[in-house]
Structure 1
Amino acid sequence: MLTNYLKDVISYRQLHVLDETFVMNQCKEDCCFVSADFYRDMRTAALNGPENTLSRDYILPDYLDVRRGYIRQKEESVQGKPVIRMNNERFAVPEVLFSPADIGIQQMGVAECIMHAIGKLDQTCQPDLLANIALIGGNACLPGFKRRVHTEVRTLADCHMDVNVHCSSDPSSYAWQGAKVLANSPEFANKLISRKEYLEKGSDFCNEKFNI
């Protein structure tokens, strides 16, 4: 979602990158971060010259001399190179994860989703779940993501409950690693239902077997 949104945000500047989703994904990974204070960073991004500490020039790949995009160093010339100026887009794009309504998506943000999911469970389980929030997926790699999730969940949770947010060294593959551990466990075979069983007995068979 963020990659497509970033494409829309900058498409008016570099039309030739519209269909290059992987290029814009690299740009997101290299440039974007989650703001701890959105309005403060917006004021900084509105400044000119050296006072704007957030603006970056992103060199796009031309597949001749540059195979992968990168952030330009201050001393590097951009003459003749395809470049995108990344300013408030660096943090405004990830902000959509926490405030989808900013672009007209009437859905809950990340923190609200976490609290909504935990709130659906028995109250006796909720303190343990709040103390063990794990972040997965590529967007969890964005600088500031973990801190922002913790800050917002802490605000929404009851004051007497501990809130801990964990992020692995490789959140992009964390879910797959967990599935691999489960698949390699000896008891995994007992947790399977074949397609034939499902077609014959339906979802009620799943509820019965797994005590749902």
Structure 2
Amino acid sequence: MIKEEARNYINQHFSSLSKKEKINLDAKILKNFKKNLNILNCKNIGSYVSLNNEVSTFNLNQFISEKGINVFLPKLSKNKKNKHLSFLQYLKKDKHTKNTFGVLEPSSNMKSIELEELDLIVVPIRAVNKNLFRLGHGGGFYDASLKRINPKKCIGLGYEFQIIEDFEIESHDLKLGGLITPEGYFKNAL
């Protein structure tokens, strides 16, 4: 399956998901995150502000923050040719602004962190294949930004329908260290 077909397949599934079903599945994913990942040794975790057609990260980010762990969210570079994301600290009181893709980002005056200092990075996905290679929205920002990071640090959140048997993989595509779904936690053997 080519990437665009995979994205269309996932979009169809998201549009057929009721709000109640999504809330229920998101709660199961959060439960599996809490159950399967020991984050108490983490000092800094990268996450993201989810879109409507992604697993919700609102309660996840709150949970991490309430554990006294610093949460850092991605921000696009102002230079449109630069595909690298900066990660800035998330604070409840911080006012987020929408970037050119409609994604909420922290304000620029927040504390930034080097990617290597993040103990865990929760990564958005459109789909993953059986080997946990990630398919994103197509911008290449996460692939470019996280290519020098140990893949074991990168965890995806997804629904069962986002696991696709196979889709085309390119050399720059990010391989995740694990995937959390409503059914459980799947680790990659890497």
Looking at secondary structure, tell me which structure has more strand per residue: 2
Give the number of the structure with larger relative contact order, counting CA–CA contacts within 8 Å between residues 6 or more apart: 2
Looking at secondary structure, tell me which structure has more helix per residue: 1
Q: Max radius of gyration: which structure?
A: 1
TM-score (norm 1): 0.21
TM-score (norm 2): 0.23
